Amino acid sequence: MSAASVHQDASASARRLKLMAFDVDGVLTDGSLFYTDEGIEIKAFNTLDGHGLKMLQRAGITVAIITGRRARCVEIRARNLGIEYLFQAVDNKLEVMNSLLAKLALTADQAGYMGDDVLDLPVMTACAFSATPGDGHALVQRHAALTTVRHGGRGAVREACEYILDAQGKLAAALAPYLAMGER
């Protein structure tokens, strides 16, 4: 497996992050859409990714979800992870990001976004830090500060979260409690 693709300024940008937002389909999931016979949309989320999002939050980084689709299961997952800022059925992700930045009194230099498709490029390029899964669209990979080795819905979010925590010097502290458990 090859190493993640990282632009030179990615670490410096990740170091300043106070807000990290994520797309859902293709990022928090593998992009597959499942429907029951009743028309209910079902998505599969990865527990590695979920724990990465919790680690970001514990480290003081605000986590948001900004997605173009609406699904009840996304609302449930966000609630389960303690994510307060959930925006679904969004046509203009950059507009939503700018509104969230204003609400939180942050600048784009303190924000990041992880997306996988060309629809995510406007918000990704407006933020200081951007990431995409290893199976993100080729154009998105060219513009992302970080392209993960892992794919969407398969640990890519966790990889990005740990990259951010490492850049901020917080990864060792985030993982330390789990290492201490094994030493008892």
Annotated binding site for substrate: 25
Phi, psi of 53 (to 5 degrees): -65, -40
* Contact by Cβ (8 Å): 112, 13: yes
What integer pLDDT is reported at residue 112 of this predicted model? 98
**Percentage above 90 pLDDT, the chain:** 91
Annotated binding site: 23, 25, 116
- For 57-70, write each residue's pLDDT tens digit: 999 999 999 999 99
- For 119-150, write each residue's pLDDT tens digit: 999 999 999 999 999 999 999 999 999 999 99
What integer pLDDT is reported at residue 6 of this predicted model? 72
Computed over every residue of the chain, the mean pLDDT equals 94
pLDDT band at 2 (very low <50, low <70, confident <90, very high): very low
Residue 169 half-sphere exposure toward CB, CA atoms < 13 A: 2
Inter-CA distances, 130 with 39, 54, 76, 95, 101, Å: 33, 19, 25, 16, 16
pLDDT band at 1 (very low <50, low <70, confident <90, very high): very low
What integer pLDDT is reported at residue 179 of this predicted model? 86
pLDDT at 184 over 60: no
What integer pLDDT is reported at residue 52 of this predicted model? 98
Annotated binding site for Mg(2+): 23, 116
What integer pLDDT is reported at residue 109 of this predicted model? 96
Which of 43, 80, 83 minimizes the C-alpha distance to 66?
83
Q: How many CB atoms are closer than 10 A to CB 49? A: 26
Q: Which domains does the chain have, with CATH numbers?
A: 5-182 (3.40.50.1000)
- For 66-111, write each residue's pLDDT tens digit: 999 999 999 999 999 999 999 999 999 999 999 999 999 999 999 9
Helices 171-182, 156-167: axis angle to 10 degrees equals 110
